[in-house]
Amino acid sequence: MKLSRPGLLILTLLISVSESCIAQSTMVPWLTRSADNSRSGWNSQETVLTQTSVGTKGIAQAPTIPVIGDARGVEAQPLILPSVKTPLGTRDVMVLPSMADVVRGVDAHDGSSIWQVSLGMPITGSQSIDSHNINQHWGCISTGVIDPDTQRLYQTCWVSPDNTGNPQTGRYFMFALNVADGSQVVPPVLIQEPSGNHVFNSQMRKQRSSLVETNINGVKTVFGCSGTIFETGTGASGFCFAFDVASNSMSTMLALTAGEGAGVWMAGQGAAADPQGFLYVLTGNGDFDGASQWGESFLKLKYTPSSGGSPAALQVIDHWTPWTDLARSGQKPATAARLAGVSAASAALTPVGSGMSMPLKNARLVAHLNDQGTPTFLVFPQMAIGAWSDEDWGSAGPACIFSIGVCIATGKDGIAYPINTDKLGGTTLKDLATPKTNCAKLAAPPVWLTMSPGPVDPCPTNPQSLNFFPLGDTAHLHMTPVQFFDPLLQSWTIFAWGENSQLHKWKVNQTGNLTYVAQGHEFASDNVRENPPGGMPGGFCSGSSNGADPDSAILACTIPYGNANTNIVNGRLLVYDPVHLAPDGSLKVLWDSQQFNIQFLFNKFDPPVIDGGQIYVPNYNGGVDLYRLTP
């Protein structure tokens, strides 16, 4: 049948309206890093991308969405707010803050520009910040947070007020932007102590950890945490701060040591926040005393807003600590008379993350069979001289399953520690003298999460027995494990991808006990693994499903081919079936970019986003790659 010209026009309009409605209805808010305040990394309202659609149609790469001003692009995870009334009409807006301090609002469906603003001059990349000099700029490093009620983006960025790009004179500011047009709601707010002193700005900090917003009894607060560029330098300390949304001002700040490390970075992840407003963070290298020094600790923080003339407060109310850096490196405890602000000893003053490889000359080898009966060997390198040796328990964010009251804390050892959120344990120095007593405070026994080293106790009497590389490679975890309630297993599950290893799936029962389920065949850093110490940083994943439909669930992951810590390397995108295993019991691949020779530069700390039938993959090519079902 041949349609008349008016008929063709009506049909075209109907198709256009239909496609527009479908596009708008399938996009859901992605307001914070890893989708929600528990950092699940899961979108449970995805209707387009399913196991069947991906497996049968495949995925095609659409034009890359450009990020302006920086060769690498974004370190912040893209955020999405649907149905925003912009100057160009109602759009689903994706927000892209670049390392050049340029923020773009684009149409989430096709990447077309809606608005663009510059927040100032960024810090110039140099070896004084990153010894491998990967980044061109250091500007908007962390992921912000969108308040859906006010449609405002809260974003911290490192800015050069004197326009020199010098990190020594750079400062962090909180920006509040309208998602509709990018306009600033208030002038930039300097991140500093409300009391007016300048402790936070006395050092070059690294605010990589993302923001989180809570709304407790009508009081909205945005929280952020940071580390320090030179974590063994005088005055080095991690910090967490609170920004009051009602007054658009800093309300309080908490130092996590007296100038001796304990930075919070978690590979860019933000603090997890439970429905009651308590915050949960992992700290990295630093001193620990169980009172004011919180290095290598899982912390529960309580925020108290100002009231009746009393200032706001942010405090540690509980914690659990697996070991100290001193014990791991075989050093003697610090003297009680050491002055605050004087850092622990170190072999060299280098930026955080620059010393992830230990010397393997004269390393000790121990042969084992792993849990699958495969021969393996453990390489025990000589530890670096000094009190700290880059153990970084806080190399990933915790997987907090608040419905069962358990957070699973992980780090560079690749060990998972299930911690009870109601009662963390309050580790003391005395507890650390008897590690089994300390581990008994956990919700469930710790397990080797990212690999199987064989009969090695994850809670040993001597923590130095953990100082090894399996098969000579690192097994660090930088990815916050993705959480998913598996409808077939009728249990919570988590997915984790460590360095030089495969994707792993674990079952988590109601008391936090972890049971191994399966792993993939694909290895991160495949081009350099088994060439000790292998490559960094492992995989980063996000998942989606249409509610509890087991056939709709997918898991999208990116991994590097080489060592993304020391070089800019190519990446690989894989889409898995996270529910149904392959015939050999492995995690089943639905789609693999390698099979189609798709090339992109791997983004070191940025997971994909799955939303509205599309997968967004931040790259180091200066953009965000867009994937959708093949037409």
* DSSP β-ladder status, 514-519 and 540-544: unpaired
- Rounded distance, CA 449 to CA 379, Å? 18
Model confidence pLDDT, tens digit, residues 420-470: 999 999 999 999 999 999 999 999 999 999 999 988 999 999 999 999 888
Give residue 148's pLDDT: 98
Kindly report the CATH class assigned to 46-332+350-629: mainly beta
pTM, two decimal places: 0.91
Of 201, 138, 202, give the one whose Cα is nearest residue 165: 138
Structure tokens at 205: 């900090």
Give residue 350's pLDDT: 47
Model confidence pLDDT, tens digit, residues 172-210: 999 999 999 999 999 999 999 998 788 999 999 999 999
601 to each of 33, 52, 385, 417, how far by Cα in Å?
Answer: 21, 28, 35, 33
358 — pLDDT class (breaks 50, 70, 90) = low
More confident residue, 521 or 328: 521
| Position 24 pLDDT exceeds 90 | no
| Position 118 pLDDT exceeds 60 | yes
Of 195, 171, 231, give the one whose Cα is nearest residue 354: 231
How much of the chain, in percent, has pLDDT values that exceed 90? 79
377 — pLDDT class (breaks 50, 70, 90) = confident
Cis before 463 (ω within 30): no
Are the C-beta atoms of 358 and 383 separated by less than 8 Å?
A: yes
Give residue 17's pLDDT: 35
Round the average pLDDT of the chain to a whole number and report it.
90
As a whole number, mean pLDDT of residues 54-70 equals 95
Give domain limits for the chain.
46-332+350-629
| Position 386 pLDDT exceeds 80 | no
Structure tokens at 126: 């140099």
| Position 389 pLDDT exceeds 80 | no
As a whole number, mean pLDDT of residues 23-30 equals 73
Give residue 364's pLDDT: 81
